[in-house]
A = this chain, B = another copy of it.
Amino acid sequence: MHPEQVPPVLADALFRPVRTGNAFEETMERMLQAIRLGAIPPGGRLPPERELSARLGISRVTLREALRALQESGHVESRRGRYGGTFVRPVPTHRAVAGPPPSPEAVEDTLTLRFVLETGAAETAAARALGPQVRRHLRACLQDCASAPPTDYRRTDSRLHLAIAEATGAPSLTGAVADVRSRLNALLAAIPRIPANIEHSDAQHRDIVNAILDGDPPAARTAMAEHLAGTASLLRGFLA
């Protein structure tokens, strides 16, 4: 007997895990993502626990467990009372967690998804009529990125890329870009030292943002593709 089988690659995609880890771990990951991607800047305040737990779809108890862990790891700080809240601490103790090196397949997978999502986001953003507020935000992120000290580069860089995704106006796309960006940052953390191609990056960032602001989708896509190629070959060199 030979029942029809589902192709292996498709099976991996469709029958992938329903839930990755428990609620606590998922929540930790999400909060760290928000902090590391610079969505909540140092000194910034997180939404109140009741609101945040509702947004994340988890109980307040579970959220508080995660926040407590983040507190102990030095990422956030809590203050009680009205006008209190949970605040992101500036430059937390950056202890590099040395995990197992990622497999070449995982690297290629992440880079492929990233390329598709981010070039697509740039193109889509350029095709939209952007409001003045969004345009200002893009320029501000670009400026932050260019003038940031090397220690903040990773964060401001993520912030800019996220801003581009936001400019598409599609929440799903923004979320997908945020996720793949987190995966990318995890890969970059496994690299010993980052070469000083920051100036080069800044110029590329400017090209991308200009193309988007000018409403030139093909140029935005091309500029983004060139920008991503740098990081991609860097990662492939170290990890693949």
Contacts and interface: CB of A to CB of B under 8 A. Distances in A.
Chain A contact-residue range equals: 35 or more
A3 B34 CA distance: 16
A18 interface: yes
A18 B53 CA distance: 10
A44 B85 CA distance: 54
Nearest to A44: B4
Contacts of A27: 18
A90 interface: no
Copies assembled: 2
A175 B34 contact: no
A174 B116 contact: no
A43 to B, nearest CB: 7
A20 B58 CA distance: 10
A174 B3 contact: no
B117 A116 contact: yes
Interface string A36-51: 0101110111010000
Interface stretch (A7-15, A147-155, A188-196, A206-214): A7-15
Nearest to A37: B14
Interface in A49-87: 52, 55-58, 83, 85, 87
Given A14-B30, A115-B120, A3 B44 contact: yes
B56 A17 contact: yes
A26 interface: yes
Given A6-B44, A41-B4, A55 B16 contact: yes
Contacts of A56: 15-18
A225 to B, nearest CB: 10
Interface stretch (A92-100, A165-173, A229-237): A165-173
Contact of A15 (B1, B9, B34): B34
20 contacts: A3-B87, A9-B166, A9-B174, A10-B174, A14-B30, A14-B33, A17-B57, A18-B57, A19-B19, A19-B58, A112-B124, A112-B169, A112-B173, A113-B176, A115-B120, A116-B123, A116-B124, A117-B117, A117-B120, A176-B176
Interface of A: 1, 3-7, 9-20, 23, 26-27, 30, 33-34, 37, 39-41, 43-45, 47, 52, 55-58, 83, 85, 87, 108-110, 112-113, 115-117, 119-121, 123-124, 137, 162-163, 165-166, 168-176, 178, 180
